[in-house]
Structure 1
């Protein structure tokens, strides 16, 4: 938890934009795995954390913009609870820790909100992603749970997204704490991997690092020698010398800020010549994107710059042909690079994605593309100082996609399918770092994690 002055300031800033009505902040409750007392690891809602900072189940908060009053609703633990959990702070103590003067029991929440509705007051809330919170709002607001998000406040979404998009120094420090742990996770994976190991042996070990040094994973780890599958959560493959492994993983700091780092490394400690050639193209694309990113240009243009570097590199290897600017404009490169350059990062690993990317990543002036590959760019709008993004270009050889495009004779003037088919079985390569936009450019956050060919080979050769 930050100093209470930070949460007070955040709420004051929000009240300057939302000047009337009630702003609702449903906190998350425990989620049972298979019976009520056996729950998944608890995670508080990120918007609740941003404004109220309390990492505890059973809470609901309201900002009454009309009365300039904030209330936290919750119940103190009973002695029966304390027997199992130990002594716990009271709701009054928790509220005081984040600068909130007013508290009430959860039993009073329904009557409080329904009275406001009867008075014709406006009710604001952001879209919900947990079904239990949708059911809470159904009960409180009289809106069918399946339709709750249809009535989310656009005014509030935009206000919160504007505020949360610009990271403070305190937030950047938290992200960098998470990246320090990612450094250990990434370098340990490189040093552990060896011929004959099963992927899960390493994936499980680095999850242990995330739990022992931080607040656990920020998302399920992608760790696979089949890097051509972008979100591969299966860890059952046996590693062999000659394989390359994609390790896309992240961790939460104790204040729930995320890292998201990807490295691709050789099991044997040495890339083959073919692997080096593709790896260097991806690295060149990432470095070009980092160099290009700065205020007042769009992230879409940075993405397209990375795509052009990839296309030119593949052309030099004979995999693509023709005019690469035209090829990228038409989307031919997406056979190899079918995703976006990166996404917002913060309290969520895909920050505020539940709000809808039309509000967080795009605008009325910059709309999401419908082109394959480019449509997967989660953030496209103009960059501003304080925005934190991932930079994660990649090259993948996806057999099913290659065969489909060749059968359809798609982009035959740009793609040399005969040569591309020689790379089936290669897998994929992705390299990812986290950046913050500065006044003149951008800064790569955190401690540098090896990513040059020499650096990755050196780390992967130091087996433990």
Structure 2
């Protein structure tokens, strides 16, 4: 945990943003894998971690936005717990460790909420994403679980997003640590990108690196020589010469801060000319984003400028034609990059996505663009110092999508379909870094940038 002053200050800032009422922040419970006592590795709710810091199941926090009072609800362990888990601190001591002076058994939470409801007070809560908390909220508030998300507090969502979006110095330090683990994971993956190697072995190897630091992977590892499938979790293939291995993976450190990198490397350690040509276009896109991302600029603008770099590069290869600006405005480039440039990073790999992406990535000034590809941009709003976002352009040749667009005659004025046909066996390339928005621009997170130039990648594999 951070020092208790961090949590005290965060709760005070949240209360100051609220108009009144009670703010309920639920922690998570254990989730059984296949029977009750065999659970998945516990993952605490990120907003509960942000405001209360306790990484253990069975807790809830209640803040009074009128009086400023805060109380932690949870149950002390019994002897059976101690036998299996060893001695545990009391709820009172846990509360004190994060600067909370009031604590009570979990059953008292229902009483406190019932009294507030009887007084006509507003109960603010965040939209739940786990069924246990949906059912718990039904019991606590009397709202059917199927409707509970409709009653979540937009005021609270916006207040939490405003606070969690700008990372404190202590958070940036933790994200850097997660990025350093991610660096090790990706270098290890590169060194094993050899003909005859199993994808599953490499995926397991880099998961093990994350686990060796006591951390989780920040999301299920994406690793495949069929990189044209954007989120390919199938690790059943054996690597072959002539293919490229795309690895999209990150670590979640012991403070639950995340990293998220992607590298695409040639199996066997040498890019052929066709691979090198496309690879360098994607690298130019990645570098363009870091060149122009800065406070006051929207990430939607950065995304569109990067797409122009992609379109120009593909035009130079003879795969696109016509005016580049017009092609991007029409969405023709999305045949090759049907996703957005990036998303927020922090305690979640897609930070705060549980609160509603429209509130995290957009605001009243910047709205989503309803166009294939660009509509998938998770982060579009104006950048501020302290934001951490991913920079992950890509170029993919998806046979089914190519066939569909060609059959429908889409964007014939910008796409050279006969040439594109010859790339249907290519696969895909994505290059992703995590970047911190600074006062004057941006910088890569982590002590070292994972190998990314053609020369760096080839030397890492062959070294």
TM class by shorter chain equals over 0.9
Matched, 1:322 2:287: no
User: CA-to-partner distance for each residue in 1:428-456, whole Å, 9 max, x for gaps?
Assistant: 00000001111111111112111000000
User: How much has 1:297 moved relative to structure 2?
Assistant: 1.1
Corresponding residue for 1:117?
Answer: 117
Q: Aligned partners of 1:365, 1:60: CA distance in 2, in Å?
A: 34
Corresponding residue for 2:453?
Answer: 452
SS in 2 for 1:248: strand
Corresponding residue for 1:289?
Answer: 289
Q: Aligned partners of 1:393, 1:428: CA distance in 2, in Å?
A: 11
Q: Is the 8 A contact 1:49 1:55 kept in 2?
A: yes
SS in 2 for 1:146: coil
User: How much has 1:214 moved relative to structure 2?
Assistant: 4.0
Q: Is the 8 A contact 1:181 1:214 kept in 2?
A: no
Corresponding residue for 2:380?
Answer: 380
Matched, 1:418 2:411: no
Corresponding residue for 1:106?
Answer: 106
Corresponding residue for 1:361?
Answer: 361
Taking the TM superposition and a 5 Å limit, the aligned residue runs for 1:229-268 are: 229-268=229-268
Q: Aligned partners of 2:94, 2:398: CA distance in 1, in Å?
A: 51
Q: Is the 8 A contact 2:31 2:40 kept in 1?
A: yes
SS in 2 for 1:145: coil
| Paired residue total | 462
User: How much has 1:364 moved relative to structure 2?
Assistant: 2.0
Matched, 1:149 2:149: yes
Q: Aligned partners of 1:187, 1:68: CA distance in 2, in Å?
A: 48
User: CA-to-partner distance for each residue in 1:160-203, whole Å, 9 max, x for gaps?
Assistant: 10000000111011000001111110001111221111100100
Taking the TM superposition and a 5 Å limit, the aligned residue runs for 1:292-311 are: 292-311=292-311
User: CA-to-partner distance for each residue in 1:26-45, whole Å, 9 max, x for gaps?
Assistant: 11000001111000010000
Corresponding residue for 1:223?
Answer: 223
User: CA-to-partner distance for each residue in 1:229-267, whole Å, 9 max, x for gaps?
Assistant: 000101001101221111100111110000000111111
SS in 2 for 1:183: helix
Q: Aligned partners of 1:270, 1:213: CA distance in 2, in Å?
A: 31
User: How much has 1:365 moved relative to structure 2?
Assistant: 2.4
Corresponding residue for 1:57?
Answer: 57
Corresponding residue for 1:132?
Answer: 132
SS in 2 for 1:247: strand
User: CA-to-partner distance for each residue in 1:63-104, whole Å, 9 max, x for gaps?
Assistant: 012221111110111110111111111111111110000000
Corresponding residue for 2:16?
Answer: 16
Q: Aligned partners of 2:98, 2:225: CA distance in 1, in Å?
A: 46
Q: Aligned partners of 1:176, 1:388: CA distance in 2, in Å?
A: 11
Q: Is the 8 A contact 1:178 1:214 kept in 2?
A: no
Q: Aligned partners of 2:259, 2:151: CA distance in 1, in Å?
A: 32
Moved more, 126-135 or 341-350: 126-135
User: How much has 1:19 moved relative to structure 2?
Assistant: 4.1
Corresponding residue for 1:75?
Answer: 75
Moved more, 309-318 or 79-88: 79-88
SS in 1 for 2:294: coil
SS in 2 for 1:423: coil
SS in 1 for 2:459: helix
- Where does the alignment leave 5 or more consecutive residues of structure 2 unmatched? none
Runs of 4+ in 1 over 3 A off after TM superposition: none
User: CA-to-partner distance for each residue in 1:354-402, whole Å, 9 max, x for gaps?
Assistant: 1112211111222111100000000111111111100000000000000
Moved more, 325-334 or 61-70: 61-70
User: CA-to-partner distance for each residue in 1:88-132, whole Å, 9 max, x for gaps?
Assistant: 111111111100000000111111101100100111011111111
SS in 1 for 2:395: strand
Alpha-carbon RMSD across the aligned residues, in angstroms, is 0.8
Q: Aligned partners of 1:417, 1:86: CA distance in 2, in Å?
A: 66
User: How much has 1:211 moved relative to structure 2?
Assistant: 0.5
User: How much has 1:149 moved relative to structure 2?
Assistant: 0.9
Matched, 1:184 2:184: yes
Q: Aligned partners of 1:361, 1:71: CA distance in 2, in Å?
A: 31
Corresponding residue for 1:41?
Answer: 41
SS in 2 for 1:375: helix
What's the TM-score once normalised by structure 1's chain length? 0.99
Q: Aligned partners of 1:148, 1:91: CA distance in 2, in Å?
A: 28
SS in 2 for 1:124: strand
